């Protein structure tokens, strides 16, 4: 499978190393979904229910990664799952997947820039939020515009800060739970009292289903491994390495973090807190806890913005490369950067940002709903493409010829599909997330309809 369907338009440079891909997959997951949304999950599903939901989410994302791994190692192309969906499901599906994923990141980018500006307001209240948002947008754009190597190095730096903060939080948290670290002015073993005090499912099983979309959204970012495979120096080695360690990282950083939060904060406190990490550090008596977490969350936001601009620009480039957008977008400069796709993605982020300010209850609501729905819909295409890819592969090759194989195919991919469908159905039980269905399904139908009218095929 060739990376370029158009001649003389420049080439991507394979400048990412195994280390970059490792940090990208790690940093892509740890974001505001963990730092800020974890309290919501605990309040909805209950302390123990939140832990279970994150365990299920970790398993689901790992299963998705197993399918993506086989595809990405066999065909390490920029565009990844959009290209796989186009070739192994249908062109209309590939077109829809690409736009769902692009909107997901465009919305995220707009909110990340605004969020970064708001966080800076804690230290510089007299400076307008839009000024900081503009500065951060220019910084992220500059990092991506220099080269893929500069993007990867910046992402490694941002990721390392988040990882260190999470490790410190988990260690101190367990110290407080076992009475080794002071908590609320005293040293006593709290252990898992709050974790089990509300029962397994205080709001029923339906509450567990309803939070799965938010949990899956928190895990979004791992699929960046597939997109980056096309710019990695040795994808046959780097991609499997990144995937093999994914489940361990997810359990350590997500599940243990939720265990600590749910054990130290009562359910009613976690539910109303906008910064549960800060609350825990404050109760430990750590000075400047809020400022430290403000800085960590700021790096998480910049990391998400950095990854988001990279991913969305490559997705637009892939659409153009497949002939679904103007050929002009395919142009890659001497630094290996698709500058026109980068500019268009930044424009999408800016429009999303303006809609969040001037049309929050209409346009922006629709965009955010589609973005939340998009993560699961995009993941759903990956095991489907892998099943069809394997069928096509065995017609001309041996299964053993694959450098990386999804185990127990097709059983495991079909299990993945079932779990993802269940999480989509679960949206209907949460009124706050229901717009994801109201806007997401019509958007998919519009994409398929437009593709059929434009290209005369589904």
Domain extent listing, the chain: 18-330+344-455
The residue to which tokens 């991913």 are assigned: 311
DSSP H/E element including 153 = helix 148-177
Instruction: For helices 81-88 and 47-74, give the axis angle rounded to 10 degrees.
Output: 70
Question: Residue 71 and residue 389: Cα distance in Å, rounded?
Answer: 8
The Cβ of residue 454 has, within 10 Å, a number of other Cβ atoms equal to 10
Question: Residue 363 and residue 439: Cα distance in Å, rounded?
Answer: 10
- Residue by residue, what is the 3-state secondary structure of 177-212? HCCCCCECCECCCCCCHHHHHCCCCCCCHHHHHHCH
- Give the number of C-alpha atoms closer than 13 A to the C-alpha of residue 245, restricted to the C-beta side: 17
Closest CA to 3 of 92, 82, 66, 102: 82
Question: Residue 149 and residue 152: Cα distance in Å, rounded?
Answer: 5
Tens digit of pLDDT at every position of the chain (458 positions): 444 455 545 566 666 777 777 777 776 677 666 776 777 788 888 888 888 888 888 888 889 989 998 998 888 887 788 889 999 999 999 999 999 999 888 888 888 888 888 888 889 989 988 899 889 999 999 999 988 888 888 888 888 888 888 888 899 999 999 989 888 888 888 888 778 777 767 777 777 777 777 787 778 777 888 787 777 777 788 788 777 776 677 777 888 888 888 888 887 776 555 578 878 888 888 888 878 888 888 888 888 888 889 889 988 988 888 888 888 888 888 888 889 999 999 999 888 888 877 877 777 777 777 887 888 899 999 999 999 999 999 999 899 989 889 999 999 999 999 999 988 887 777 777 788 888 889 999 999 999 999 988 88
pLDDT number for residue 11: 67
pLDDT number for residue 2: 46
Q: Count H helices, E strands: the chain?
A: 22, 0
pLDDT number for residue 3: 47
Contact yes or no for 144/235 (Cβ under 8 A): no
Question: Residue 458 and residue 452: Cα distance in Å, rounded?
Answer: 5
Topology of the domain covering 18-330+344-455: Amino acid/polyamine transporter I (1.20.1740)
Q: Which residues of 298-313 are buried (b: 16+ CB within 10 A; e: fewer)?
A: bbbbbbbbbbbbbbbb
Question: Residue 413 and residue 200: Cα distance in Å, rounded?
Answer: 29
Closest CA to 163 of 96, 68, 60, 257: 257
- Sign for the CA dihedral angle at 206, 212, 214, 215 comes to positive
DSSP one-letter string for 86-152: HHHT-HHHHHHHHHHHHHHHHHHHHHHHHHHHHHHTTT-TTS-HHHHHHHHHHHHHHHHHH-HHHHH
Question: Residue 424 and residue 47: Cα distance in Å, rounded?
Answer: 22
If 0-12 CB within 10 Å is exposed, 13-18 middle and 19+ buried, where does residue 267 land? buried
């Amino acid at each position: 499978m060739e990376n370029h369907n158009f001649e003389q338009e420049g080439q991507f440079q394979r400048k990412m190393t195994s280390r970059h891909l490792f940090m990208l997959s790690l940093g892509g997951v740890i974001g505001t979904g963990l730092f800020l949304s974890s309290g919501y999950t605990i309040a909805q599903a209950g302390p123990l229910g939140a832990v279970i939901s994150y365990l299920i989410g970790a398993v689901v994302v790992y299963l998705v990664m197993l399918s993506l791994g086989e595809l990405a190692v066999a065909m390490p192309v920029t565009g990844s799952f959009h290209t796989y969906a186009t070739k192994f499901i249908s062109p209309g599906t590939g077109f829809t997947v690409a736009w769902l994923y692009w909107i997901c990141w465009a919305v995220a980018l707009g909110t990340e820039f605004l969020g970064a500006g708001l966080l800076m307001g804690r230290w510089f209240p007299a400076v307008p939020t839009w000024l900081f948002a503009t500065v951060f947008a220019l910084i992220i754009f500059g990092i991506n515009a220099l080269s893929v190597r500069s993007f990867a190095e910046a992402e490694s730096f941002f990721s390392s800060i988040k990882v260190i903060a999470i490790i410190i939080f988990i260690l101190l948290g367990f110290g407080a739970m076992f009475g080794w670290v002071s908590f609320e002015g005293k040293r006593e073993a709290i252990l898992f009292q709050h974790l089990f005090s509300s029962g397994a499912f205080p709001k029923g099983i339906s509450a567990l289903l309803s939070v799965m979309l938010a949990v899956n959204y928190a895990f979004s970012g791992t699929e960046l491994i597939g997109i980056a495979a096309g710019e990695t120096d040795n994808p046959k080695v780097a991609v499997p390495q990144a995937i093999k360690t994914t489940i361990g990282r997810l359990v350590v950083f997500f599940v243990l973090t939720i265990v600590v939060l749910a054990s130290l904060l009562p359910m009613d406190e976690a539910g109303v807190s906008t910064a549960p990490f800060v609350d825990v550090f404050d109760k430990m008596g750590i000075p400047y806890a809020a400022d430290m977490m403000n800085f960590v969350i700021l790096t998480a936001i910049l990391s998400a913005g950095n990854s988001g601009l990279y991913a969305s620009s490559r997705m637009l480039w892939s659409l153009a490369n497949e002939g679904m957008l103007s050929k002009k977008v395919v142009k890659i400069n001497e630094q290996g950067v698709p500058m026109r796709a980068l500019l268009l993605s930044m424009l999408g982020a800016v429009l999303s940002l303006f809609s969040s300010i001037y049309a929050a209850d209409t346009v922006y609501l629709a965009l955010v709903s589609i973005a939340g729905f998009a993560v699961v819909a995009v993941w759903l295409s990956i095991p489907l493409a892998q099943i069809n890819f394997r069928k096509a592969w065995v017609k001309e090759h041996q299964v053993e010829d694959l450098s990386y194989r999804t185990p127990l195919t097709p059983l495991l991919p079909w299990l993945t599909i079932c779990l993802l469908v269940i999480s989509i159905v679960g949206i209907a039980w949460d009124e706050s997330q229901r717009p994801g269905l109201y806007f997401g399904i019509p958007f998919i139908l519009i994409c398929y309809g437009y593709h059929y009218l434009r290209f005369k095929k589904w």
